[in-house]
């Protein structure tokens, strides 16, 4: 069986691969910073839109690096989430990254041709994944406003460190806050996305 087109869809939670250069700069700066390491949380259950179980695989650079996730199909075509440097960020944000990446599998993003980096369509898929992640944390993990605040604060810290402009950071956090407040069950939200994209 041959896999269609680009089966790989990379998505670090920090939003864009185009920030990799910025990450390198940050890595150099971090050598002088005292680094805290955190307990790495267990990944959540994750099933994609085709009913396949998604595996989570821990990867650490062994050195300095921002926590990030990547939703992808591995060489054998199995859906996976790679977790990079999770010990570098607090458990609440690790949990958010896991569910954000899972959402790229749940909505079928992983099996669609990736939209151009930072295009409106690309940013929309990121907003949708953020939304599903926070709805799951709210409904499945009981995240209250304080826990939501912790996710937002860590996101702000990590994104600022990588060099994102304030406008990107605040709009991302506003979207998450809006989802937390206004939307219902995560599965209903996912079903709405799939339906809008013409998938049952
Ligand atoms: Zn993403």
Confidence of residue 22 (pLDDT cuts 50, 70, 90): very low
- Per-residue pLDDT at 182 exceeds 50: yes
User: Which residues contact residue 98 at a Cβ distance below 8 angstroms, ignoring those fewer than 6 apart?
Assistant: 41, 43, 44, 46, 56, 69, 81, 83, 133
Q: Which residues surround ligand 1, an ion (CB under 5 A)?
A: 11, 126, 129
User: Ligand 1 centroid vs 200 CA: distance in angstroms?
Assistant: 22
User: Ligand 1 centroid vs 85 CA: distance in angstroms?
Assistant: 16
How high is the pLDDT of residue 84?
A: 94
User: Ligand 1 centroid vs 10 CA: distance in angstroms?
Assistant: 8
Classified as helix, coil or strand, 14 is coil
Give the Cα separation of 199 and 29 in Å (integer): 45
Tell me the pLDDT of the chain averaged across its residues. Answer: 85
User: Ligand 1 centroid vs 194 CA: distance in angstroms?
Assistant: 17
Q: What percent of the chain has pLDDT over 70?
A: 80
User: Ligand 1 centroid vs 141 CA: distance in angstroms?
Assistant: 20
User: Ligand 1 centroid vs 51 CA: distance in angstroms?
Assistant: 20
User: Ligand 1 centroid vs 102 CA: distance in angstroms?
Assistant: 9
User: Ligand 1 centroid vs 146 CA: distance in angstroms?
Assistant: 23
Domain spans of the chain, in order of start: 17-196
Beta bridge partners of 80: 55, 72
How high is the pLDDT of residue 9?
A: 37
Q: pLDDT: is 9 or 137 the higher one?
A: 137
Structure tokens that stand for 42 in this block? 């267990």
How high is the pLDDT of residue 34?
A: 61
How high is the pLDDT of residue 71?
A: 97
User: Ligand 1 centroid vs 68 CA: distance in angstroms?
Assistant: 10
Give the range among 15-24, 32-41, 123-132, 171-180 with minimum mean pLDDT.
Answer: 15-24
For the segment 4-18, what is each residue's pLDDT rounded down to a tens digit? 333 333 344 434 333
User: Ligand 1 centroid vs 169 CA: distance in angstroms?
Assistant: 14
How high is the pLDDT of residue 17?
A: 34
For the segment 78-111, what is each residue's pLDDT rounded down to a tens digit? 999 999 999 999 999 999 999 999 999 999 999 9
pTM of the prediction?
Answer: 0.83
- Per-residue pLDDT at 187 exceeds 50: yes
Confidence of residue 64 (pLDDT cuts 50, 70, 90): low
Burial bucket for residue 101 (CB in 10 Å: 0-12, 13-18, 19+)? buried
User: Ligand 1 centroid vs 170 CA: distance in angstroms?
Assistant: 17
Residues 98/69, Cβ–Cβ less than 8 Å: yes
Give the Cα separation of 156 and 169 in Å (integer): 6
User: Ligand 1 centroid vs 138 CA: distance in angstroms?
Assistant: 19
């Amino acid at each position: 069986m041959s896999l269609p087109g680009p089966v790989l869809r990379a998505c670090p939670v920090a939003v864009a691969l185009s920030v990799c250069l910025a990450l390198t700069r940050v890595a150099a700066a971090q050598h002088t910073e005292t680094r805290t390491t955190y307990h790495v949380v267990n990944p959540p259950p994750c099933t994609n839109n085709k009913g396949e179980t998604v595996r989570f695989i821990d990867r650490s650079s062994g050195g300095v690096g921002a926590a990030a996730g990547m939703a992808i199909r591995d060489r054998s075509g199995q859906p996976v989430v790679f977790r990079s440097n999770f010990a570098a960020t607090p458990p609440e944000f690790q949990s958010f990254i896991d569910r954000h990446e899972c959402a790229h599998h749940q909505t079928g993003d992983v099996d669609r041709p990736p939209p151009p980096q930072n295009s409106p369509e690309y940013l929309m898929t990121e907003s949708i994944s953020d939304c599903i992640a926070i709805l799951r944390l709210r409904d499945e993990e009981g995240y209250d406003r304080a826990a939501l605040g912790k996710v937002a604060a860590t996101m702000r810290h990590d994104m600022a460190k990588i060099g994102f402009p304030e406008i990107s950071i605040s709009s991302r956090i506003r979207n998450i806050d809006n989802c937390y407040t206004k939307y219902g069950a995560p599965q209903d939200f996912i079903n709405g996305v799939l339906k809008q994209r013409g998938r049952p």
